[in-house]
Amino acid sequence: MKTYIKTILLFLLTLAIGIGIGFQISEIIVKKQQEQWKEYFQPEGFVKFYEEIIKPDEKQKRLLKPLLLKYHEKISSLVTGGFKQMDSLKDSLRIELKPYLTKEQLHRFDEMMKEHKK
């Protein structure tokens, strides 16, 4: 093989390996962020998040924890209500789209909706 062909093949191989590594790193970062968000929406994770920002002493921790838990409950119910409202709107969208879509298009739409609910 000629040198320039070897060079091109080596470049393409290096590029493919770099892309593969990039995808793996991206997936790891996204999963870590998802885990952090899941933790944040748990009562203890919510308290921990704000304690890391505020850095209260022990006395303050005892006083702040009930307050933070109270607001966790309020924020959680607001978020949950928002998701329920969004699901309701998406259901309405499906109903209005249905007369205009083929069975295949409707199936793709439904599959996308299932993915978003995960």
Q: What is the pLDDT of residues 44-80, one digit of tens each?
A: 999 999 999 999 999 999 999 999 999 999 998 888 8
Answer yes or no: are the C-beta atoms of 58 and 51 closer than 8 Å. no
Q: Structural domain of residue 5, as residue ranges?
A: 1-40
Over pLDDT 90: what percentage of the chain?
A: 64
Number of domains in the chain: 2
100 shares a domain with 64: yes
58 shares a domain with 34: no
114 shares a domain with 64: yes
Tell me how far the alpha carbon of residue 41 is from its chain's centroid: 13
Question: What is the model's pLDDT at position 84?
Answer: 86
58 shares a domain with 112: yes
Chain-wide mean pLDDT for the chain? 90
HSE of 27, CA atoms in CB hemisphere, 13 A: 6
114 shares a domain with 68: yes
Question: What is the model's pLDDT at position 67?
Answer: 95
Scanning the structure block, which residue is given the tokens 């969208």? 93
- Structure-token pair, residue 31: 């999963």
35 shares a domain with 51: no
57 shares a domain with 29: no
Q: How many CB atoms neighbour CB 83 within 10 A? A: 11
pTM: 0.54
Task: Please check the confidence at residue 116 and state whether its pLDDT lies above 80.
Answer: no
